[in-house]
């Protein structure tokens, strides 16, 4: 069919680029079609005063980080490993960290939620 392999190569990539472009066209028209539903959902969230965003769906302590406890990931026993990968992607909420976390760039980091917790600077004898 093709005398040269390069002709087949260029035809193959032309078809791929056409498919790639059609994906963007589909996304553009789909976004316009879904705009009414998105506005309806936005109004529902405003009326019901929904707050927390569901970031991860695998565990209850990663769904709503503001409601998490420090020991929840290790609820089976204190030395158990984290079962869910999302627990390693998200730090505990600032109000659960009693002391400032060290900065990876050196010096002390500025942790939030430390104004209501007294942090001992000297070691305990």
Q: Which of 82, 90, 30 is nearest to 54 (CA)?
A: 90
The alpha carbon dihedral of 19, 25, 27, 30 has a sign of negative
Contact in structure between 121 and 99 (CB atoms under 8 Å): no
Length of the chain: 125
pLDDT above 70 (res 12): yes
The answer for residues whose C-beta is within 8 angstroms of residue 38's C-beta and 6 or more apart is none
> 76-107 pLDDT, tens per residue?
666 666 666 776 676 666 666 666 656 555 55
């Amino acid at each position: 069919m093709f005398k040269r392999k390069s002709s087949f190569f260029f035809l193959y990539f032309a078809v791929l680029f056409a498919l790639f472009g059609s994906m963007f066209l589909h996304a553009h028209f789909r976004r316009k079609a879904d705009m009414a539903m998105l506005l309806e959902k936005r109004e529902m969230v405003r009326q019901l005063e929904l707050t927390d965003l569901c970031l991860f769906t695998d565990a209850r302590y990663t769904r709503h980080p503001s409601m998490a406890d420090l020991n929840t990931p290790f609820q089976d026993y204190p030395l158990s490993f984290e079962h869910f990968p999302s627990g390693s992607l998200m730090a505990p909420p600032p109000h659960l960290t009693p002391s400032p976390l060290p900065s990876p760039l050196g010096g002390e980091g500025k942790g939030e939620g430390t104004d209501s917790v007294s942090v001992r600077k000297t070691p305990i004898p």
